[in-house]
């Protein structure tokens, strides 16, 4: 069973997602969903991903709440900018942030958080120096952005992904 379904949860999630995206289900889409659910995990097995060790469920819950709040607030701020409700000079800019985190899964989650939050974008990460280049739509103070990323996201992610 492990050779056919090396990652059963991934297979189930892929099949379910495929069927939801291709609703209503037809015999062809069900067959294709099952094929994707079998092939993609087999490819993942060939890549031999390291197991993820996640700690601190309370920290995960707090980080999720923080990210959802920041996304809501950022959506409102970006909407104000786009609709012209925010008067004054708006400057976009790039910020270089020195990261202490080196865990690949933590860095992946951080990149998803920053890119999914409206008005911010993960541009580049230099693994040798540990510096992240981030673009912000509403650049105010670079140090404020550095503190925000490190305190609100990096620190909890370092607890979750040791």
Q: Record the pTM.
A: 0.75
> What angle, rounded to 10 degrees, do the helices at 27-47 and 8-21 form?
140
For residues 13 and 61, membership in a common domain is answered with no
For residues 25 and 61, membership in a common domain is answered with no
52 is a domain residue: no
Q: How crowded is residue 85: how many other Cβ atoms within 10 Å of its Cβ?
A: 9
CA distances from 132 to 45, 86, 107, 114, 119 (A): 30, 28, 10, 11, 16
Contacts 24+ apart (CB under 8 A), 13-17: 14/40, 14/41
18 is a domain residue: yes
2 is a domain residue: no
For residues 77 and 125, membership in a common domain is answered with yes
**Coil vs helix vs strand at 14:** helix
Distance of alpha carbon 114 from alpha carbon 104, whole angstroms: 15
For residues 94 and 142, membership in a common domain is answered with yes
For residues 105 and 29, membership in a common domain is answered with no
For residues 102 and 38, membership in a common domain is answered with no
1 is a domain residue: no
pLDDT of residue 1: 53
Q: What is the pLDDT of residues 39-84, one digit of tens each?
A: 998 888 878 777 777 788 899 999 999 999 999 999 998 888 888 8
For residues 120 and 154, membership in a common domain is answered with yes
Q: Give the chain's domain count.
A: 2
What is the distance of C-alpha 137 from the center of its chain?
18
Instruction: Give the chain's mean pLDDT.
Output: 89
How are strands ordered across the β-sheet holding 120-126? 93-98, 131-136, 120-126
Calculate the dihedral angle through the C-alpha atoms of 149, 153, 159, 162, rounding to the nearest 10 degrees. -70
Segments forming the whole domain that contains residue 40: 8-47
Q: What is the pLDDT of residues 22-47, one digit of tens each?
A: 989 999 999 999 999 999 988 888 78
For residues 14 and 91, membership in a common domain is answered with no
């Amino acid at each position: 069973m492990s050779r056919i379904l090396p990652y059963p949860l991934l297979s189930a999630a892929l099949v379910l997602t495929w069927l939801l995206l291709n609703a209503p289900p037809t015999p062809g889409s069900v067959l294709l969903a099952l094929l994707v659910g079998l092939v993609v995990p087999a490819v993942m097995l060939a890549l031999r991903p390291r197991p993820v060790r996640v700690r601190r469920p309370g920290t995960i819950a707090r980080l999720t709440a923080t990210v959802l709040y920041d996304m809501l607030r950022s959506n409102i701020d970006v909407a104000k900018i786009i609709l012209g409700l925010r008067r004054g000079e708006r400057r976009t800019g790039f910020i270089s942030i020195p990261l202490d985190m080196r865990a690949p899964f933590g860095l992946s989650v951080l990149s998803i958080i920053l890119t999914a939050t409206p008005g911010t974008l993960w541009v580049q990460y230099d693994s040798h120096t540990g510096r992240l280049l981030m673009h912000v739509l509403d650049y105010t103070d670079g140090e404020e952005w550095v503190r925000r990323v490190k305190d609100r996201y990096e620190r909890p992610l370092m607890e979750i992904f040791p």
